[in-house]
């Protein structure tokens, strides 16, 4: 665990330290597009944040290659090299898009080529565990098509959800954390070496997102752009492909008792037939809804609009920060709820806890104007917006003026005379203060 934490920290530090210079570079090169109709920010903001994230990825892989406990991943598997090759290609296309606004079809072709590069180097789905059936071996063509489809879906899901400050990086970080915990359990809990690359990829992905988030939280000083969103989407897809297509459920049979039970034990991170990636269900659902919505209107599936889930949260009255936190909440609930169910699938407390948290999430959705206040003992650790406001202190001189102004008006004095009385009282107070 220490080696993974060291890799995560190095990746986060490199990403964080490089984001500032990258921001200056983006401003100097003019990578600051004009505000579009669908944007929610009010000032032009530089993009190209994916440059810092890519160098963070390279730093994480370089450090892991020199660590004793992680160097075996590079010796026994070609997956890290496959990931770096596909990431470099998709990152270059993203940088060009952030600067020159490439056509959507060109980006789609680049995504498919990047996935094909990874498949050619061994990062592909070899078999598909199906609950109730068992392990189904895939032909090379089937594995290639399924891998490319999963990479393209994940990249566009992350790209579509990148609409608010800190939203995409935070949601991908939550998904990567769930991936890391489950892959680490397979690697060290079941001693399955095939899960080691996915564990490393997830740790590096968390570092990339955590290092970029301080610069990207609202109000964002820099955007990751397509160079960042497509990059982290590809790394997340590579983690899912590695642990899904390379880990044989027959190995889990030694611990679980049968192939069917082993398949069910690994189900939370395996690819179901309908929803390819359950732990990023929110971005996937947003992607599907966007495609249906745009095609229903006769538009291109890649035509931008303001109909995404985060846009709808803003329309019903949620603030920018609260909309992001709500999306974080639902992503964490689905990801870690699925993770907890994979560990204790027979426990009803997990199901009841997920139901209770879902009810809390629905209440938060229906109360956009409600601002919770933290208890007094937690005032020093929560953001200022959630602290209890203290009444402003009134100076002694101002208090004296207020007392004179509130002095009762004698009976029988009309409104004009009353105003004159109050004015004289106020003037005397001010004169006394000056004296």
Q: Which residue has the higher pLDDT, 151 or 269?
A: 151
DSSP state of 297: T
CA 222 to chain centre: 16
3-state secondary structure of 248: coil
3-state helix, strand, coil in the chain (%, to 5): 70, 0, 30
- Residue 405: pLDDT above 80? no
Closest to 58 in 3D by CA, of 79, 36, 88: 88
Q: Residue 15 belongs to what H/E stretch?
A: helix 2-29
**Residue 260, Cβ neighbours under 10 Å: how many?**
16
The pTM of this model reads 0.75
**96 contacts: CB under 8 Å, gap ≥ 6:** 102
Find out whether the peptide bond into 219 is cis, omega within 30 degrees of 0: yes
- Residue 251: pLDDT above 70? no
Confidence grade of residue 127 (pLDDT, cut at 50, 70, 90): confident
The answer to whether 308 and 315 have CB atoms below 8 angstroms apart is no
Binding-site residue set: 159, 226
- Residue 9: pLDDT above 90? yes
Angle, helices 140-161 vs 225-245, to 10°: value is 140
Closest to 183 in 3D by CA, of 269, 250, 265, 255: 269
Of the listed ranges 4-13, 316-325, 357-366, 380-389, the one predicted with least confidence: 380-389
Q: Environment class of residue 58 by beta-carbon count within 10 Å: exposed (0-12), middle (13-18) or buried (19+)?
A: middle
**Residue 111, Cβ neighbours under 10 Å: how many?**
26
Domain boundaries, the chain: 2-299, 397-434
Binding-site residue set for Mg(2+): 159, 226
**Residue 221, Cβ neighbours under 10 Å: how many?**
15
Backbone φ and ψ for 129, nearest 5 degrees, come out as: -75, 120
- Residue 207: pLDDT above 50? yes
- And the tokens for 301? 């599936």
pLDDT of residue 279: 56
Handedness of CA 169, 171, 172, 177 (dihedral sign): positive
- And the tokens for 367? 């109360």
pLDDT of residue 368: 66
Of the listed ranges 9-23, 102-116, 362-376, 411-425, the one predicted with least confidence: 411-425
Of the listed ranges 79-83, 200-204, 239-243, the one predicted with least confidence: 239-243
Q: Alpha-carbon distance 373 to 378, whole Å?
A: 10
- Residue 287: pLDDT above 80? no
């Amino acid at each position: 665990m220490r080696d993974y934490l060291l890799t995560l920290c190095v990746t986060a530090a490199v990403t964080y330290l490089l984001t500032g210079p990258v921001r200056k570079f983006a401003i100097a090169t003019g990578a600051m597009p004009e505000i579009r109709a669908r944007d929610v920010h009010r000032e032009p903001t530089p993009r190209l944040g994916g440059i810092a994230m890519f160098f963070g990825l390279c730093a994480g892989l370089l450090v892991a290659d020199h660590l004793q406990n992680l160097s075996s991943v590079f010796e026994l598997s070609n997956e890290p090299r496959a990931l770096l090759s596909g990431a470099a290609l998709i990152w270059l296309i993203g940088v060009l898009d952030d600067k020159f606004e490439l056509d959507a079809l060109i980006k789609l072709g680049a995504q498919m080529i990047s996935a094909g590069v990874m498949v050619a180097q061994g990062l592909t789905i070899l078999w598909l565990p199906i609950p109730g059936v068992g392990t189904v071996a895939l032909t090379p063509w089937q594995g290639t098509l399924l891998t490319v489809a999963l990479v393209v879906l994940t990249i566009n899901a992350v790209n579509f959800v990148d609409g608010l400050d800190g939203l995409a990086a935070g949601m991908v970080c939550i998904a990567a954390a769930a991936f890391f915990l489950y892959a680490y359990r397979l690697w060290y809990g079941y001693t399955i070496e095939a899960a080691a690359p996915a564990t490393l990829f997830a740790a590096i992905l968390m570092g990339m997102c955590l290092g970029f988030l301080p610069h990207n939280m609202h109000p964002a000083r820099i955007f990751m752009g397509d160079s960042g969103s497509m990059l982290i989407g590809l790394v997340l897809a590579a983690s899912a492909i590695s642990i899904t297509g390379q880990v044989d459920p027959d190995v889990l049979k030694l611990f679980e008792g049968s192939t069917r039970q082993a398949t069910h034990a690994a189900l939370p991170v395996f690819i179901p037939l309908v929803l390819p990636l359950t732990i990023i269900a929110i971005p996937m659902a947003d992607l599907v809804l966007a495609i249906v919505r745009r095609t229903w209107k006769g538009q291109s599936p890649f035509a931008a609009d303001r109909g995404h889930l985060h846009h709808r949260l803003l329309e019903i009255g949620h603030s920018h920060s609260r909309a992001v936190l709500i999306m974080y909440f639902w992503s964490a609930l689905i990801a870690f709820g699925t993770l907890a169910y994979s560990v204790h699938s027979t426990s009803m407390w997990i199901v009841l806890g997920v139901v209770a948290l879902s009810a809390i999430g629905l209440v938060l959705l229906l109360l956009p104007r409600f601002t919770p206040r933290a208890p007094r003992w937690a005032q020093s650790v929560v953001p200022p917006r959630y602290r209890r406001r203290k009444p402003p202190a009134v100076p002694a001189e101002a208090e004296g003026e207020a007392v004179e102004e509130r002095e009762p008006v004698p009976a029988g004095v009309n409104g004009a005379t009353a105003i004159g009385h109050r004015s004289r009282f106020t003037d005397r107070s001010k004169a006394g203060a000056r004296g």
